[in-house]
Amino acid sequence: MKIAQVSEQFGISPDTLRYYERIGLIAPVNRNDSGIRDYNEGDLRRVEFIKCMRSAGLPIEVLIEYVNFVQQGDQTIDARREILRQQRHLLAARIMEMQKTLDVLDHKIEVYEKAVLKRERELMHIEDQGE
């Protein structure tokens, strides 16, 4: 699969895909005879994983460390699991914080809606008086 299609499929620009490869976030992708990237299934799975993690805000640096460990084989399983655990922890905390903010927003929106209703009632009142 060529880079344009991968870009399409995951909503990541070709520039970003090449950038990820350059910095070692995605292992080097196979090329065809003329040096053009041809993503295989493994590449696609890796891209999808990175897309998922990045969309939740996991830092590139941490992900590079993780994929480096993956490439070093089974003796790094403990280290990898620790990275994932730590990131899971941070992510859960961020979700909770965002949920709090969501509640605050909901409350504020509600207040604004009441304010609008109140103003509308007042306007009607003025019209009533006007009639």
Smallest gap, in angstroms, from Cβ of residue 52 to DNA? 12
Nearer to DNA, 62 or 79 (CB): 62
Q: Please state, in angstroms and rounded to a whole number, the distance separating the CA atoms of residues 67 and 58.
A: 13
Q: What's the CA gap between 15 and 8, in Å, rounded?
A: 12
Separation between Cα atoms, residue 29 and residue 35, nearest integer Å: 10
Q: At its nearest, how many Å lie between DNA and the CB of residue 55?
A: 9
Closest to its own copies by CB, 40 or 101:
101
Between CA 21 and CA 38 the distance in angstroms is 13
Shortest separation between residue 17's beta carbon and DNA, angstroms? 8
**Binding status of residue 33 toward DNA by CB under 7 A:** yes
Alpha carbon distances (Å) from 119 to 106, 107, 115: 20, 18, 6
- In this complex, which beta carbon is closest to DNA, that of residue 59 or of residue 119? 59
Q: Which pairs from 59-62 meet CB under 8 Å and 24+ separation? A: 60/23, 60/25, 62/87
> Residue 4 or 115: which CB sits closer to DNA?
4
Minimal distance, residue 99 CB to its own copies, in Å: 6
Residue 34: name its binding partner from its own copies, DNA, none (Cβ under 5 to 8 Å by kind). DNA
d(CA 79, CA 69): 8
Binding site for DNA (CB under 7 A): 2-5, 13-16, 18-19, 22, 31, 33-37, 54, 59-61
